[in-house]
Amino acid sequence: MTSTHYAITADRIWDGMSETPSEGSAITVDGENIEDIIPVYDLPKHIKTLCFENCTILPGLIDMHVHYSAVMGHAFLAAGVTTVRDTGNDLDWILEQREKNTKNAKNGPDICCCGFLVDGFPPHWPTIGRGFETEEHIRQMVRLQCERGVDYIKLYVTLTQELFQVAVDEAHVQGKWVLAHLGQLSAQQAAEAGVDEIEHLTGCEVAWNPSTVSEQDILIDVLLDKHVVLVPTIVVWDRLGGMLDSVFANDSRLKWVHPTYRDIWNGIPNKFAAPEARLPMQAAIPHMKRFILKAHERGIPLPVGTDSPWPYLIPGFSMHDELCMYVDAGISPVDALFCATSQAARILKKPNIGSIAAGMKADLTIVEGNPLEHIQDISNVRQVVHAGISIDPNDLYRQQVKSYDTAADEPKSRELLKFIG
């Protein structure tokens, strides 16, 4: 269906803001936007209506941490992910992809982007990062990326504390949100430097170890005082710690993964290394879950990210896995879904997505069942609406497999191919 005027009904609608869903309502879509939410009995008789029995309509999901490749676009949409934030990529390439997806909603999700990783010298990832040794060069790179139109600035692991501070200060002068994958700094140091967001729980030592509640509170107090957001991506550590687990290798959703990435995943160095390369991450997962529950209870925002395409993080579908990890940690399903929709939209400063209301962008996920009660139902995607266009996941899969005859040759795939040697 092309973007036009139509209605959608289901057993229940969750608007991304309320504690409970509504029943007996319909969503009318006009062009790219939601026109209204009205009682089903008020629908005009002439309007084309898509009806989904035993289903829940939710806002389109938002993955806050990916490294995008065009061969992932259809998979993201099929999983109900209508917006992603790319957290490190070739600058020219990702700006081009952002524009392509804006012009054609069927290509893939809307993209918010950070451009190159801003790193110390030499950069950890030379294809998608740039390394710097002087304060002036750091400032120049931050300004350049802002001038080119990136949405955010991403700092990376080898920055010294001094250069980290310079980058944060310059990004804030340019009016940009700063996120960081920490390496040389602790979370406390990064918070004091003014960072807005920390990825993967890096620098959060108490999150990785059997810490006491009081030890967790000391860090959480600092993060709350400095208004720091956390994007935990527990799922990436789960996958890196369990790459020999047959359940991942036999995941039926692998059909959505381009063969180039499947080859990369089979060649990741620590997959067949000694157990000591994986066991620390396995051991850390329960501690991470304890920490994010405490952080959530204390009020730290925890928007959901995945770090696709690291091994067995199937684009889009790994969002479902991360949501289940939030709930396994003790966060309620509705709060986990808040983190993946309206909370993420607020952090992205995208007021037209993340919730369902008149005038909002028509980005919707329709799933069979009720994920507000059973979070696993989030995986039962029946239909996706992106920028007003209603899309069948089966049609997306037919488009996806057409790319499999050609090797993926994009910045992130090239970087990972070099990594595996």
- Per-residue pLDDT of 108-136, as tens digits, reads 999 999 999 999 999 999 999 999 999 99
Rg (CA), the chain: 21
Kindly give, in sequence order, each residue whose CB lies less than 8 Å from that of residue 123, ignoring residues fewer than 6 positions away.
Answer: 117, 129, 130, 131, 156, 158
Question: Is 4 domain-assigned?
Answer: no
Note the pLDDT of residue 285: 98
- Mean pLDDT of all residues in the chain? 97
Beta bridge partners of 26: 9, 38
Q: Residue 264 sits in a domain of what CATH number?
A: 3.20.20.140
Residue 94 Cα to chain centre, angstroms: 16
Question: Is 227 domain-assigned?
Answer: yes
Question: Is 101 domain-assigned?
Answer: yes
Question: Is 264 domain-assigned?
Answer: yes
Q: For 307-362, what is each residue's pLDDT tens digit?
A: 999 999 999 999 999 999 999 999 999 999 999 999 999 999 999 999 999 999 99
Beta bridge partners of 308: 66
Residue 2 reports pLDDT greater than 70 = no
Residue 385 token pair: 């609406």
Question: Which region, left, alpha or beta, applies to residue 354 given φ > 0 means left and ψ of -120 to 50 means alpha?
Answer: left
CA-to-CA separations, 271 to 262, 279, 408, in angstroms, rounded: 13, 12, 22
Q: For 153-183, what is each residue's pLDDT tens digit?
A: 999 999 999 999 999 999 999 999 999 999 9
Note the pLDDT of residue 3: 53
Confidence label for 1 from pLDDT (cuts 50, 70 and 90): very low
Q: Give the position of tokens 């099929």.
A: 78
Residue 357 token pair: 């209301």
Distance CA 257, CA 268 (A): 16
Question: Is 12 domain-assigned?
Answer: no
Question: Is 283 domain-assigned?
Answer: yes
Give the mean model confidence (pLDDT) for residues 288-292: 98
Domains in the chain, number: 1
Residue 352 token pair: 């037209």
Q: For 56-85, what is each residue's pLDDT tens digit?
A: 999 999 999 999 999 999 999 999 999 999
Tell me if the bond preceding 311 is cis, omega within 30° of 0. no
Kindly give, in sequence order, each residue whose CB lies less than 8 Å from that of residue 124, ignoring residues fewer than 6 positions away.
Answer: 117, 156, 157, 158, 183
Q: For 213-222, what is each residue's pLDDT tens digit?
A: 999 999 999 9
Question: Is 331 domain-assigned?
Answer: yes
Note the pLDDT of residue 144: 97
Distance CA 367, CA 78 (A): 11
φ and ψ at residue 25, rounded to 5 degrees: -115, 165
Q: For 228-258, what is each residue's pLDDT tens digit?
A: 999 999 999 999 999 999 999 999 999 999 9
Question: Is 158 domain-assigned?
Answer: no
Of 216, 88, 194, 217, nearest to 151 (Cα)?
88
φ and ψ at residue 332, rounded to 5 degrees: -65, 155
Domain with 343, as residue range(s), is 59-115+200-354+405-420
Distance CA 177, CA 375 (A): 31
Instruction: Record the pTM.
Output: 0.97
